[in-house]
A and B are shown apart, each in its own frame.
Chain A
Amino acid sequence: MDFILQNADTFIWIAVAFGFLMAFGVGANDVANAMGTSVGAKALTLKQAIFVAAIFEFAGAYLAGGQVTQTIRKGIIDSAYFEGTPELLIFGMMAALLAAGVWLVLASKFGWPVSTTHSIIGAIVGFAAVGVSVDAVSWGKVGSIVGSWVITPFIAGAIAFLIVMSVQKLILNRSNPFAMAKRYVPFYMFLTGFVMALVTIMKGLKHIFQDHDINLSMTETYLIAIAFGALIAIIGAVIISRIKVEEEADKDYHFYSVEKVFTILMIVTACGMAFAHGSNDVANAIGPLAAIVSVIQNGGDIGAKAVVDPRILLVGAIGIVIGLIVLGSRVMATIGQKITHLTPSRGFAAELAAASTVIIASGAGLPISTTQTLVGAVLGVGMARGIAALNLGVVRNILVSWVVTLPAGAILSVIFFFIFKALFSF
């Protein structure tokens, strides 16, 4: 450990570089999943999507990303086990970052749909269980994380199903769907803003409030979240009120004007989706980084209580944004042709359901897969007979990638772990 502490800056900078690269990869790969439905439904142009994603991914990562980062940093491994040998934790987390990064690059070369979350969790569990000891893993926490991977797509699917049903009941199946859309769509906007604000205040801003001695009661928290939701709804309602019926286009497709109202809603839910993605997935990149930095800064004391350094969240947030601007745009460009017949009234339902599920999971500190949650939500819309055609083969692919990614991340991480240990232990 002395060797590491003597070269603390070097180690921290290496870890920052690894973390930044991971965040870059998350931004480049996953942003298409988060924003794809919006571009596919033509609610946003490619440029607008990148712009929205950049702002809200950053906000999500910075404001609400702390909780999941905390879990990845300390929740998966049993820190008591590393008490005497903090350097093992540092090597391990560096190995996990490198392993997940290498695996993601390999997987995308071969065209496999893998989840960043699964890669990093597999890698951390791998180095801890094989490299150190089976007891070094908090299996209970790992169990609940894996459980959440199964449950969240179902929850998102159920929410999406209910949203689509409510849209059909309240708006599309009425005699004047356009007027009904104008009346009810702001309510969905409210929901999006409410969930975003609630989790941000309750979880993300907790430490900032503590620093400034601000104590919000439960009621105050909810009131602020409601106020924020209402603000979004009012702004949305004003924009919606300017939309005019286009009779010519309505003749061809009766819901043309109605869908234009939903397009505005979809811009709001796209923001929510980007926010959710940032809040959950930034942790994959910087959770291990946070662990390394915290151990080194505390002179090897693992147990030290400390919230995630906001500067670390910043590294992740910037990494995601640069990744999505540099490489993400190329991925997104292919979306337009791929998604056909996903109307804004459907796309928004999938996004709202997935975003709320992910944001709530972020608040609970559960690292889940944004993409798989969204897949669950889209299937939920399909169950409500809302989407023309879905490939069920994708679900099979996801299951396969599950089976492959966890051990792959683990094996790579064990290899890197022993290399680091051999290189730096003397």
Chain B
Amino acid sequence: MANSILDLFASSPIRPMQDHMAKVHECASELKNFFKATIEGDWEKADELKTHIRELENEADDLKHDLRMHLPKGLFLPVARTDLLALLSKQDKIANIARDISGLVYGRKMQFPAGVNEDLMGLIQRSIDASAQAFKAINELDELLATGFRGREASLVEEMIDQLDMIENDTDDLQRELLFKIFEQENELPPVQVMFMYKVVQQIGDLADSAQSVGSRLEMMIAR
């Protein structure tokens, strides 16, 4: 039976956005255990965790496709549809990077020199913090909707985004220190492996960058 008033309501993209971010963050968080396992040289466990990260990334992809299918052009949304889709892409990138990092490290059975392990774990933790902060901000989407993306709630989210920027700054510093430590001993290490070490460190930094761009996208939504 046709019922115009019921057909008026399309399914909300807010909850699926948050579900997607939750999945993405879970995926990024697994990197911590994964690196722990590689440092301990437990490649069996690392394999398990790498597979798990890949699974989570796939699930995030499914959520992403689903959400895109539910955002056809004729929708009337409180925020620009393009902003929402861009935000989704940024969220998704976090999971992609996490998958790439775990794939590369496991594939090459990479071991960092013992002296930098502590710094490495510190950087990973801080990057995951950035992802956690982005998740926290995305969790405010439904509250933002309630307040029409204005006022107190908007300033609250802006504060969260400021914090996210600070966390990302931290990761930059940590990344620089770590790179320098590897540089100091790079002559004693096999050159090809060092190249990939730089690459992995770079990618861990990118993870935090992506989390930051989730925040920036959210900020743009509020700003209009």
Cβ contact within 8 Å between A397 and B5: no
Residues of the A chain whose Cβ atoms lie less than 8 Å from the Cβ of B114: none
A388 to B149, CA, bound (A): 12
Q: How many residues on A have C-beta within 8 angstroms of the other chain's C-beta atoms?
A: 53
* Shortest distance from the beta carbon of A162 to any chain B beta carbon, whole Å: 13
Residues of chain B with a CB closer than 8 A to A384's CB: 148
Whether A394 pairs with B150 at a CB distance below 8 angstroms is: no
| Nearest-CB residue, chain A, relative to B224 | A385
CA distance A370 to B146 in the complex (A): 26
Asked if residues B147 and A382 are in contact (CB atoms below 8 Å), the reply is no
Does B108 lie at the interface of the complex (its beta carbon under 8 Å from any beta carbon of A)? no
**Beta-carbon contact of A173 and B5 below 8 Å:** no
- Residues of chain A in range 373-396 having any CB-CB distance to chain B below 8 Å: 374-375, 378-379, 382, 384-394
Q: Does B55 touch A at the CB level, under 8 Å? A: no
State whether B74 touches A371 (Cβ < 8 A): no
Instruction: Point out the residues of chain A lying under 8 angstroms from B4, CB to CB.
Output: 33, 113, 371-372, 375, 394, 397-398
Interface stretch of the complex, out of B75-83, B90-98, B130-138, B209-217 = B75-83
Q: How far is the CB of B78 from chain A (nearest CB, A)?
A: 4
B contact residues around A392 at 8 Å (CB):
74-76
User: Would A345 and B146 count as touching, CB distance under 8 A?
Assistant: yes
Contacts of B6 in A (CB 8 A): 32-33, 36, 40, 334-335, 338-339
A217 at the B interface (CB under 8 A): no
Contact assessment for B5 and A374 in the assembled complex, using a CB-CB cutoff below 8 Å: yes
Chain A residues with CB below 8 A from B8, complex form: 375, 378-379, 390-391, 394
How close is B218's CB to chain A, nearest CB, in angstroms?
15
Question: Is the pair A339, B152 in contact by a Cβ cutoff of 8 Å?
Answer: no
Looking across the interface, which residue of chain A has its beta carbon closest to that of B17? A388
> Contact partner of B147 among A29, A40, A172, A393, CB < 8 A?
A172
Binding site for B on A (CB under 8 A): 29, 32-33, 36-37, 40, 107-108, 110-114, 164-165, 168, 172-175, 253-255, 331, 334-335, 338-343, 345, 371-372, 374-375, 378-379, 382, 384-394, 397-398
Nearest 3 Cβ contacts at the A-B interface: A388-B12, A173-B151, A385-B78
